[in-house]
Each structure stands twice: as structure tokens, then as C-alpha cells.
Structure 1
Amino acid sequence: MMGSLFAKTMAKPAAGLGAAKPTSAGIAVRQLTINTTDGGVPIVRGISFTVAPGSILGLVGESGSGKTTAGLALLGYARSGLKIAGGSVSIGGVSMLDLPERELVAMRGREITYVPQDPATALHPGLRLRTQMAECLRQPSGAREQALHGMLQDVGLPDPARILASYPHELSGGQQQRIAIAMAFAAKPQAIVMDEPTTALDVTTQTRVLQLVRALAQQHRTAVVYVSHDLAVIASLADQVAVMYSGEIVESGTAAQVIGRRLHPYTHALLRAVPDPDRALWLEGLPGQAPDPAQRPPGCVFAPRCGLAEPACTTQSPDPVLAEPDHMVRCFRAGSLHIAAPRLLPAVPRPAQPVSPLLRLTAVQAWHGRKVLHDIALDIAPGRATAIVGESGSGKTTLVRCIAGLHSAWTGEIALAGQPLATKAKARPLEQLRRIQYVFQNPYASLNPRQTIGQSLLVAARHLRRGERISRNETLAVLASVGLPAAVIDALPGQLSGGQRQRAAIARGLICQPELLICDEVTSALDVSIQATVIELLTRLQAERGLTILFVAHNIGLVRSLAQDIVVMQAGQLVESGETQTVLSAPIAAETIRLMRSAPRFGAAAQDEFHDGAALDASGMEAKPLRG
């Protein structure tokens, strides 16, 4: 039978997802449509939502869902190759899309501002911050110094004289992001669009930034649209949530409704991919990928990836329906979704007999002009995944770069299987270079943009496995082992998605047949579904190959779902280490406790009762369907 009784009898048709009473302040979007300029392919299709003054809307979805394109349209802007083809956008009661260009430009920065993911794109590298921040103020010149100090005080940055006299590169990433946020709020705009502003920040800095955004939005009565792929972040910040897929909003409502009583299978799939800092979950990546906008399937756009899809889902497009007050969903099977408890990962026991460490660090110290690592002593067990965590500046990346020979200003001893390693990679024999492979945060650091993926893999293998014949079939087998199709072998990096590029970078390391794979923040820029797929991949490779993994991360939840062992760093020192579940369940060091407290959680929104009144019991095993 097509659809559920719930969807047919209890739901009410809605003009558009997120539709709400008109407001003369804040943000009001009605049937916004954005097309390509050549061919008129819709990228964003008829989305609607409102955000009241002082309220925050979380706009979530995978890469390519259209959320950033929609966010930029609130400023009356469409990137090259796109055009705003229909609908309306009202900011503080002003219709943005009807303004002449000069008035539209004046609205930007005064009534609506934008905070990008990378603060470096918002700050001029050649100007001191005093000059840049003063441009955002409306006060007369005589009152600007006091206003500048007030801006820094609002975002919790001490020593204003030093900050104002600095260039952007003299501040940390977290400090730069807080400056960008201060500049966005400085003019007390009606609305702000924030595009993934905490993605690359460590958990403690991320927590401070989120608290700051919440406080400033309420203090200045500013409506905020917060674009993100991280539902845990959205749960801790947003009042409302709108979930986008293939240019449509497929579910929207309050944070408690969308996260605690999700009705759309896509929302559910995103939540199953989010790690939990308090439990080692089996993360489930979403199979397949969103369709190309020019080749969307007929019917429901999510049907090809949906486990609940029926034949009619492939021919009819579901209209948005009101499932309960303020909770809207675009799905025929909305009342059929089972919310099952997530699977827990089984514990990986240590070997019964002590084993020699694969890697041993003794009294390691390192410098970046000043000393940044202090007497690090560490053993890395073979065949296990060890996470290195800590806030930005703790020294974790410097440590693994010393291990790989990419940072040479260090002393002490690093030994691989009992053999000391030279400080510089170029001074190490090829066999040692082969046994340690490094996967960078940005896959372009591992892949030549002008070489095909197959060529990049062959260059690495032929250099480090001299004398061996590397066949095309072996290259294809390695690509298959990381879940990439054979066609990728002839593709350039720029032709792949972010997740595919990162898997190709891992394949480049694997073809060298390493014993130790160093993964440096390899998932920090990926959306949650692709992130879960990469973690699944690393877990499988560790089990199949007996691979030893060093995993640098700031996401405690990811660490809990991947690593058997953990090392916590602070200010260049090792402050706590041990088995991951033991350390994170009963942390001792103050820094570990702080990292755990700062980790984003679903909180009250995730614990909200399901639509039929059933909630998880103490064991978390309740899995009843929504009543229909």
C-alpha cells in the first residue's frame, strides 16, 4: 500500500517545508529556486523557511545538497553559472531580490552578513585587524576605539591592543574565526549566514564559538542561518532544523522534532553516521551518493538510496506534509520509519602476551622556533589504531610529522621495529619510507592534480617498491579495497568528490604496503556520511591487513569509534594515554575531562520522546515504529 495511514490521515498538506507565519523582521524565504544559467537545471528547488529575530536555523545536508547555495542566496548572491530564478527572500522586511544592485550591495554587511568556513577568506592578509574591523562599525571615528575593544570583549579575546595591531596570520584559526564572527555581528545586522564556521576547529574552540554565536544572536536579536553537515553541532546550537537533499528541504521543524522524532529516512541515515563521544558506535555511511542535478531520478529524489522505497516512490514526487505542528516532512513513508538503537562496536582485546612496540618514541623534543614538544615517550602497539587528540596547538600534528620525517627540527629517538629513524625523510632508506605512509588532511597534498589517480598510485609504488612490477590489476585491486570503482584509475583528482579524493589518498598509501598508516585529520572537512564511510574503511583495513594506524583528530566521537588506544596532548606534552574506552569513560587528566565536556552531543533533542510516545529505555534498546 502506498504510504502509511499516518501520512494519509494525520498529515496536512503544506505550501512549502518550513513555512511559517509571515514576519516583518528576521528572515523569510518563500519558494526559492536557483537554476544553472546554461540549461536552467534547478540546483535549489522551491525551498521555504522563516527565522525569527534571535533564533537560529540549522541548514544541514551532505556536500552537494544545495545548502551553501541557498545560504548565499539570502544575500541576493548566486555564484558563477547560477541564477536566482524564482521565489522571494525577505531580510528585516526588505525584499532582497527586488532591490537594485546598488541597494543590494548596501544591504550586505549592514543588514545581512556572511561568515565563511575559512576565516582567512574573510580577512585581508595584508591589513592589520584594527583597520579591517573598523570598516564594520557605524560609530563616528572618535568612538571607534572603544567600540573595537567592545567587539573583542564580546567574542572573548583578551589583550585587545595586541589583537588589533596584529595581522590575521599572527592569530590561531580559532582566534581568526572569532574575529570574523565579531565583524559579522558588529553592525548589528538583521540576519547572518554562517557557512560551516567550526568545521576545522578543535572541540574546545568549537564549543566556545558555538556558545558565542548563541549568545550574540540573542543579545543582538539577529536571525542566524547556520549551514553545517554536523547534526551534533546543530543539535547543540539551533532552535530549528531544515534538512536538505538534492536541492529540496525534505524535513524541517524544531531541533527536538527533527533529531528526536525524525520522520524522513535521509535524516535518520545522517544521524546514524554521527559519532557519539560517550559510546563506541558502529558508524554507518550512507550508500551511494546524491544525484547530479541534471540527472535527478523521477519520483522521490532519495528513493535510489532509501531502504523504505516502494515502487510508487520512483514515479511520484512526495509533497511536503505537516506531521505535527511545525514539523514538516516530504516522504510517503513518514510513519513507517523504525528508530532502532545504534549498534555498539565490540571491544578489541589486547594480545594475551606482551608484544614489542612497532614504534617507540623516547625523549622526543621538537621546535618551531620555540620548543613545541617536550620529552615525549610513547609506544605504539602493532596492529592497533592509536588516536592522538588535543586542541589546536597541542603539538599532535608536529609529533606525527616528526615520525614521518616531514619535520626535522627534533631530538630524542624514534625507532621503527627497533631501528632508529633519521630526523629527515630524505635521509631514511627506502624500506623505512615504505613502511610508514602519511595521509594528509587535504588529499591534494597526497595527489598530484595533473596526474590521474592511477598515475599517482604508480609513482608512489614504483619509488618505494623498486624492483617490483606494479600491474594495473594491482592498482585496481587497491582502489577496490577502499571502495572506489575501476573508472577512478583514469580520473583526475578534481573530477572526484571530497570523499573519493580522500579514499584515493588512502589507496596511495596502501599500495606502498605500509605497516604504519598516519592519518592526519583525514575526516575533518568531510560531511558526516562520508566521514562514517572513511572510518568504516579504516576499521576494515586494520582488521584485514593487520595495519597499525595513527589517527590525529579533534573529534572525540570519531576516536571512540575507531581507535583502541588514545594519547591526549596539551601544550606539547603527553598528559594521558591508555585504552580508548578506559580513558574516555574515566578520564583523569584535566585536559581529557575538558575535551570530553566540550564534545558536541545531541543532548535533550536526541533524548526527546518518539512520536508514538515511546522512548529509549535505560538500555537504549527500544525500537518501536511511529504509530500509524
Structure 2
Amino acid sequence: MSTPTRSTNAPSCSVSGLRVVLGRGGPDVVDDIAFDVAEGEILALVGESGSGKTTIATALLAHTRRGARIDAGTVRLDGRDLLAAPPREARGRRGSEVAYVPQDPAASLNPVMRIGRQIREVLDVHHAGTPAERDARVREVLAEVALPGDDAFLRRYPHQLSGGQLQRVAIAMAFTLRPRVLVLDEPTTGLDVTTQAHVLATVRELCARHSVAAVYVTHDLAVVGELAHRVAVMYAGRIVEIGPRERIFAAPAHPYTRALLVAVPSVTEPRVLEGIPGSAPSPGRRPSGCRFHDRCAFAEAECAEHEPELTAVRSGTSGAPDRTDDAGPAATGDVPVLTATGEVPVLTATGDLPVLMRCRRADHVRAQPLEFTVAAPVGTGRPEPVLTVRGLTARYGNRPILHGIDVEVGRNECVAVVGQSGSGKSTLSRAIGGLHEEWNGTVSFQGTPLPPGARSRSRELRKAVQYVFQNPYLALNPRMTVGRIVRRPLELFGLARGADATRRVHELLGQVMLSPAVYDLRPDRLSGGERQRVAIARALACEPELLICDEVTSALDVSVQAAIVSLLEELRASRGLSMLFVTHNLALVRSLATRVAVLSDGLIVEEGPTADVLDRPSAAYTQQLLRDTPGRADEPVGEGA
């Protein structure tokens, strides 16, 4: 294989030989990580929960989670190694050279500090400019993220902003000192499609305008398809495939990448979502040879013996080698694109780059076309209602949120509720679940009226109607182990005790694709996606008849999401489980829901069978949601689009 020529311009960020381990001499969390990111380029890190994405993201700031440490490697920012810097110097370079945008800004922003003061604090800590210049910079950076910079907005507290506004404040804080490198950790998780589109446009524009290199950690491959220039696919602490976005999406060379793409839902057709069998191995439990071989549909006996090196695959399926000469402007934009050859990262300005991966059967894998199974159409009849909501009007204090909502969920039916942030989706689900008591109207379960508060409901009703929260970081008791969290409802409702309860907990963990090793761990040792799966297992432990899901898949990678959807579909078929599914993911709605209700400003503006609403939307609001959905921006939507 010929070697790409090295550009005279150094990359903004260069990672080589990065290894992060647990404790001293413990197993690796990530190892052998090498990549470059150029000015203005966005590199996406994708993979299942626990693959090491966030570990790499935090290591780019010379930081690790509790219990882990950086054991080897370099992270060079404009040629200077951040990992070798003294602690004081490293702290000074964080924020000024490399900045971080967290997954949950509501948890990372100080709730008792006004927005303007929090942004100004970044400038104060780094002694940037005069006091007057700092005040001006705060207003300037808010304008860059399309937020008002007036005194009234600067005086607001975080709880007075929407989720999209909070995320843009976090981006503004990251861009305040105009860093060279930006690390974004799932910044659009939990956002509706319209807010997500605005946030992504902000990131794209600011990176291009200020020539910022960005590392974008995400599990949302639809977002990657619209935002990233290159993609690095992570599995079990390794980069298993890296290359230009359009080439990896069109012809994935690694079986793992292929399996992830097959698990992606489509808003245009109801696909049968297929999760990857088994679960990703945790540090210390990874198999010999190729780390994916025990879950791989293409594996041979030799795959278990030797771990393959990161090498270039051949172009297409013709057998011609990848070109590495200067082939003109980059296909992904007017920015340099970087890649790696073996262990050495190199920079090149060509758009025709090799895809690098770890698989001895890459040529065979790429020769197989990607195939998606389309689900059979669901019946159009209305089943007997399990949940009936009539004239529901909800408020927070004197502020009305919902205005006369009517909705039904039939037995063995999934009804999706979609809409932008602030439309009232979560208020509706919380009122039904007994978590919000300020409402009027009628909510009935199997003909029995439900009192507003959960504490006023009978034990049988609390068991039958279960709620899964959106935020897995706040939904689990941090003092309890995973085993105890899932075991508690079994004991509380008299479903199992002793050894029988332990066995049942392990079964539930397996159903949500969690390793038995998490049984004795506390939530702080788990990723966001793993925590959400624990919350789902806890709800399923009650053997509910109605499951209220509030954005439950927003923190899950596509493979686990597919497995959860498959599990919920199985429970619908075997136990007649009914679901009210609140989500912003319209593609997931297509594969899961039988009917969909579109909520806007506390009113249902459109309701009907899923195919009718998504294929022939009558409301302008629904049409806009579909236009903002990743992958649908250029497609005609509805007759009035």
C-alpha cells in the first residue's frame, strides 16, 4: 500500500498510542488509539455504550473518570503534548486550547448562578482581556449561538431556559476563548429534531468560521451522516474502522460497522430493527483475537487467534487498491481530511482517502450488500382502550401547559407522542404516570379513574402503570447497586424473593443487553446508555400492563436501541403490553408505533396511524418536524411541503 504524503500544515489535534487503564496495572479501557483532526474538520466517534468514546473524549483534555488513568500516549494540540504538561499548565490549556461540551448541560451548569455570570467566569479564570472586553465577549458569543445577549437573558438562571437553549449556552461557553479543538460529548441527546437541527447548524458554522477541529462523540448515526467529515468506529476500546463518512456509510468494511448501520431506523420505511447479538465486553473480559469475533456473523476460527492490525481496505469490491495520491478537493468539504496508516497518523488534503479497519475478512464483508428488513404493515383497527385521556388540562402554577388533550392507548398498542421541546410531551406523560398533580380532566386505566398523584393510587395500579424516565443520571439511586435497584420492585410488589429474585434480576439484565458483571456496580460506574438500560429493566421487573416511556432511547446507541425495541415488541406480542412512547425520534416512531399524536404548544395538531401521519402529514408543524429530521432535509414531505 502506498503511503499518503504528509501535509506541511500540522493538524490541530493529533492523538497517538493513547491507552487508558483502570487503576495501576489494570485492564485497558481504550488502547492503541491514533487519529488526527484538522482545522475545520469534524471527526465523529461512534460505537456502542462502553466502547470507549467518552473515555477518549475526556482524555483529549488530559482527564479521566474516577478509577481510570492515562497509561500511555500523546495528545498534541498544535504540536504540544497536553498529557506531558504539568497539572497547572494542563488546566490553563483546557478551555483556551481545547474545550468540552457536555452531554447534559442542565447537570453541568451551576443552577444558582446566572447565565451571564457563568459564561463570564470562563474569561475571568483565564484572565482574558479587560473587564469591559470580557463583558463584550459574553454578549458576542451568545450572538454566535443565536441567543439574545441582552441584560434580561444574562440574568436568567439555567432552569429558566429550554433544553436547546441550555445546550447552546454550553456551546457558547466552549467557544468563549476560541479554542483550537472542541470536544462534544453527545450534545444533542434528548433534544427534539428541530432544536437538534439548530444546535448542529451552530456547531457546523462555528467550526468552519473559526477553523476549529472538533471531535464529536455520538451514538446517532443519522446525525453523523449530516455533520461529520470522517467517522471513527469504536468497539471494546479499539478503533475498528476509520475513514471518510460517505465511504464508510456506503460500503462498511468492518462487520461491526455494518451491524450498526443495519440497526438504524428509517423515517421513510418501517424497518425491523436488528440489534447485535450479545453485549460489548467490559474491560478485563475482552476476548482474544479480534475483539468482535464472538458477536460477528462473518467470523472464522482464525479470528479468535490474532487481533488484526489497522490496515487499509481495497476500494469498492473490484480489488483495486485505495488511491492515496492528491485527487483534488475533499469530497466532504473544503477542509483537510486526515487518516492514519498503521500506527502513525498522517495528514493529507485528498478527498479519496483509504478506509482503515481491523478485519481480516474486510473484502468479503464489503462485497455483501447492506440489507434492511421492512416490517409488515400493522392493522388499522382500533383495539380495546387500556388508557383513556379526556379533556386533560395541565398547568405549572398559573402557567397552562396542556389544553384539553384527548388520547387513547389500546391493548397491545404503542402510541407515540412527538413534538418540540416545550410542547407538553413530558407533562402529558408525567400526569398520566401520577408524577404531576396539577391537572384537570379524566385519566382512566381499564375503566378505572386514576387519581392525580401516584401515592393516591392503589398498589395494583402502581404496579400496572410503570414509568421510565428520560434522564438516566437522575433516575437511579446512586447509593444502590444495579442488582439492588432492579431487585427492589420485585420485592416491593411480592413478585420474587431470595435466590428467585436474584435469578430474575440476571434475566432482566440480559434482556436489556447488560453483562452480569454490572450486578454489583453502582450507577456512577456505568455509561449513560447502560444506566438507561438499568432503568428499563427496573420498570419491566414490575411486569406492567402499561409502560410510559419518556425519551427512553435518547441515551442509547443504535444497536441497544434496536434490541430494546425488539424486546418491547416481543412483550407486546407475548404479554399484551401497551405503551405510551414519548420521543423526538421520528425514524424510531416509524418502526415502533402503531399510531402517533403530534403535540404543539399543549395541543394535539395531528393524530392517526403512523404511516398516514409520516407519509402524508396535513399539519404544517408536522411537515417541519419531518424536514428537520436527519436524512430527510432534502426530501419532499407532504403535499404542502
Both structures adopt the same fold (TM-score exceeding 0.5): yes
Kindly tell me: are residues 347 and 479 of structure 1, through their superposed partners in 2, closer, same or farther at Cα, counting changes over 3 Å? farther
Kindly tell me: are residues 305 and 457 of structure 1, through their superposed partners in 2, closer, same or farther at Cα, counting changes over 3 Å? closer
Within 5 A, what are the aligned runs for 1:110-121?
110-121=96-107
Kindly tell me: are residues 149 and 360 of structure 1, through their superposed partners in 2, closer, same or farther at Cα, counting changes over 3 Å? same
Within 5 A, what are the aligned runs for 1:188-337?
188-323=178-313, 324=322, 325-337=353-365
The amino acid that maps onto 1:128 is R
Q: Distance in 2 between matches of 1:453 and 1:134?
A: 40
Q: Distance in 1 between matches of 2:489 and 2:83?
A: 52
Query: SS where residue 557 of structure 1 aligns?
Result: helix
Q: Specify every segment of 5 or more residues in structure 2 that has no aligned partner in the other structure, as ranges.
A: 314-321, 323-352, 635-641
The amino acid that maps onto 2:106 is A
Residue of structure 1 in register with 2:334 after alignment: none
Kindly tell me: are residues 314 and 115 of structure 1, through their superposed partners in 2, closer, same or farther at Cα, counting changes over 3 Å? same
- Residue 538 of structure 1 deviates from its aligned partner by 0.4
Give TM-score, length-normalised by structure 2: 0.84
Larger mean CA deviation between 523-532 and 79-88 belongs to 79-88
Kindly tell me: are residues 345 and 189 of structure 1, through their superposed partners in 2, closer, same or farther at Cα, counting changes over 3 Å? same
2:567 to 515, 529, 537: 537
Q: Specify every segment of 5 or more residues in structure 1 that has no aligned partner in the other structure, as ranges.
A: 1-11, 605-628
- Residue 291 of structure 1 deviates from its aligned partner by 2.2
Q: Distance in 2 between matches of 1:41 and 1:483?
A: 23
Query: SS where residue 88 of structure 1 aligns?
Result: strand
**2:115·2:157 contact (CA, 8 Å) conserved in 1?**
yes
Larger mean CA deviation between 430-439 and 59-68 belongs to 430-439
Residue of structure 2 in register with 1:367 after alignment: 395
Q: Distance in 1 between matches of 2:2 and 2:23?
A: 32
Kindly tell me: are residues 433 and 183 of structure 1, through their superposed partners in 2, closer, same or farther at Cα, counting changes over 3 Å? closer
Query: SS where residue 293 of structure 1 aligns?
Result: coil
Kindly tell me: are residues 29 and 503 of structure 1, through their superposed partners in 2, closer, same or farther at Cα, counting changes over 3 Å? closer
Kindly tell me: are residues 23 and 245 of structure 1, through their superposed partners in 2, closer, same or farther at Cα, counting changes over 3 Å? farther
- Residue 386 of structure 1 deviates from its aligned partner by 0.5
1:421 to 438, 450, 453: 450
Question: Is 1:561 the equivalent of 2:591?
Answer: yes
Query: SS where residue 294 of structure 1 aligns?
Result: coil
**1:499·1:526 contact (CA, 8 Å) conserved in 2?**
yes
Kindly tell me: are residues 398 and 488 of structure 1, through their superposed partners in 2, closer, same or farther at Cα, counting changes over 3 Å? farther
Residue of structure 1 in register with 2:609 after alignment: 579
Kindly tell me: are residues 357 and 479 of structure 1, through their superposed partners in 2, closer, same or farther at Cα, counting changes over 3 Å? farther
Within 5 A, what are the aligned runs for 1:378-389?
378-389=407-418
Kindly tell me: are residues 130 and 340 of structure 1, through their superposed partners in 2, closer, same or farther at Cα, counting changes over 3 Å? closer
Q: Give the fraction of aligned pairs with identical amino acids, expressed as a percent.
A: 45
Kindly tell me: are residues 76 and 278 of structure 1, through their superposed partners in 2, closer, same or farther at Cα, counting changes over 3 Å? same
Within 5 A, what are the aligned runs for 1:38-53?
38-53=24-39
Residue of structure 2 in register with 1:105 after alignment: 91
**2:475·2:535 contact (CA, 8 Å) conserved in 1?**
yes
**2:120·2:138 contact (CA, 8 Å) conserved in 1?**
yes
1:190-221 per-residue CA deviation (whole Å, 9 max, x = no partner) reads 11111111112222111111110000000001
Larger mean CA deviation between 376-385 and 71-80 belongs to 71-80
**2:509·2:516 contact (CA, 8 Å) conserved in 1?**
no
Kindly tell me: are residues 59 and 513 of structure 1, through their superposed partners in 2, closer, same or farther at Cα, counting changes over 3 Å? closer
The amino acid that maps onto 1:574 is I
Residue of structure 2 in register with 1:432 after alignment: 461
The amino acid that maps onto 1:77 is H
Kindly tell me: are residues 479 and 560 of structure 1, through their superposed partners in 2, closer, same or farther at Cα, counting changes over 3 Å? farther
Larger mean CA deviation between 475-484 and 154-163 belongs to 475-484
**2:418·2:583 contact (CA, 8 Å) conserved in 1?**
yes
1:57-81 per-residue CA deviation (whole Å, 9 max, x = no partner) reads 1111112212222222222333443
The amino acid that maps onto 1:309 is A
Query: SS where residue 225 of structure 2 aligns?
Result: helix
- Residue 458 of structure 1 deviates from its aligned partner by 6.5
**2:390·2:443 contact (CA, 8 Å) conserved in 1?**
yes
Residue of structure 2 in register with 1:27 after alignment: 13
The amino acid that maps onto 2:600 is Q
1:167-207 per-residue CA deviation (whole Å, 9 max, x = no partner) reads 22221221111011112112121111111111122221111
Q: Distance in 2 between matches of 1:295 and 1:547?
A: 35
- Residue 537 of structure 1 deviates from its aligned partner by 0.5
Q: Distance in 2 between matches of 1:428 and 1:42?
A: 48
Larger mean CA deviation between 197-206 and 83-92 belongs to 83-92
Residue of structure 2 in register with 1:608 after alignment: none
Larger mean CA deviation between 82-91 and 554-563 belongs to 82-91
The amino acid that maps onto 1:344 is V
- Residue 29 of structure 1 deviates from its aligned partner by 1.7
Residue of structure 2 in register with 1:151 after alignment: 141
Q: Distance in 2 between matches of 1:119 and 1:177?
A: 6
- Residue 594 of structure 1 deviates from its aligned partner by 1.7
**1:384·1:547 contact (CA, 8 Å) conserved in 2?**
yes
The amino acid that maps onto 1:52 is A
Q: Distance in 2 between matches of 1:442 and 1:119?
A: 12
- Residue 239 of structure 1 deviates from its aligned partner by 0.6
Kindly tell me: are residues 120 and 433 of structure 1, through their superposed partners in 2, closer, same or farther at Cα, counting changes over 3 Å? closer
Q: Distance in 1 between matches of 2:496 and 2:234?
A: 47
Q: Distance in 1 between matches of 2:20 and 2:500?
A: 43
Query: SS where residue 231 of structure 2 aligns?
Result: strand
- Residue 407 of structure 1 deviates from its aligned partner by 1.2
- Residue 428 of structure 1 deviates from its aligned partner by 2.9
- Residue 423 of structure 1 deviates from its aligned partner by 2.0
Q: Distance in 2 between matches of 1:37 and 1:511?
A: 34
Give TM-score, length-normalised by structure 1: 0.86
**2:409·2:415 contact (CA, 8 Å) conserved in 1?**
yes
Q: Distance in 2 between matches of 1:98 and 1:512?
A: 51
- Residue 500 of structure 1 deviates from its aligned partner by 6.2
Q: Distance in 2 between matches of 1:518 and 1:545?
A: 16
Residue of structure 2 in register with 1:521 after alignment: 551
**2:55·2:64 contact (CA, 8 Å) conserved in 1?**
yes
- Residue 82 of structure 1 deviates from its aligned partner by 3.2
Residue of structure 2 in register with 1:7 after alignment: none
- Residue 527 of structure 1 deviates from its aligned partner by 1.8
Q: Distance in 2 between matches of 1:476 and 1:143?
A: 62
**1:384·1:542 contact (CA, 8 Å) conserved in 2?**
yes
Q: Distance in 2 between matches of 1:113 and 1:489?
A: 32
2:40 to 54, 60, 70: 54
Residue of structure 2 in register with 1:163 after alignment: 153
Q: Distance in 2 between matches of 1:312 and 1:54?
A: 41
Question: Is 1:346 the equivalent of 2:336?
Answer: no
- Residue 54 of structure 1 deviates from its aligned partner by 0.9
Kindly tell me: are residues 71 and 426 of structure 1, through their superposed partners in 2, closer, same or farther at Cα, counting changes over 3 Å? closer
1:547 to 577, 596, 609: 577
The amino acid that maps onto 1:329 is M
Question: Is 1:398 the equivalent of 2:430?
Answer: no
**1:29·1:48 contact (CA, 8 Å) conserved in 2?**
yes
The amino acid that maps onto 1:413 is T
Query: SS where residue 358 of structure 1 aligns?
Result: strand
Query: SS where residue 284 of structure 2 aligns?
Result: helix
Q: Distance in 2 between matches of 1:588 and 1:206?
A: 23
Kindly tell me: are residues 476 and 356 of structure 1, through their superposed partners in 2, closer, same or farther at Cα, counting changes over 3 Å? same
Kindly tell me: are residues 24 and 461 of structure 1, through their superposed partners in 2, closer, same or farther at Cα, counting changes over 3 Å? closer
1:538-571 per-residue CA deviation (whole Å, 9 max, x = no partner) reads 0110011122111111111111111101111111
- Residue 505 of structure 1 deviates from its aligned partner by 4.2
1:76 to 21, 46, 62: 62
- Residue 308 of structure 1 deviates from its aligned partner by 0.8
> What do you get for the CA RMSD once the two structures are aligned?
2.9
Query: SS where residue 373 of structure 2 aligns?
Result: coil
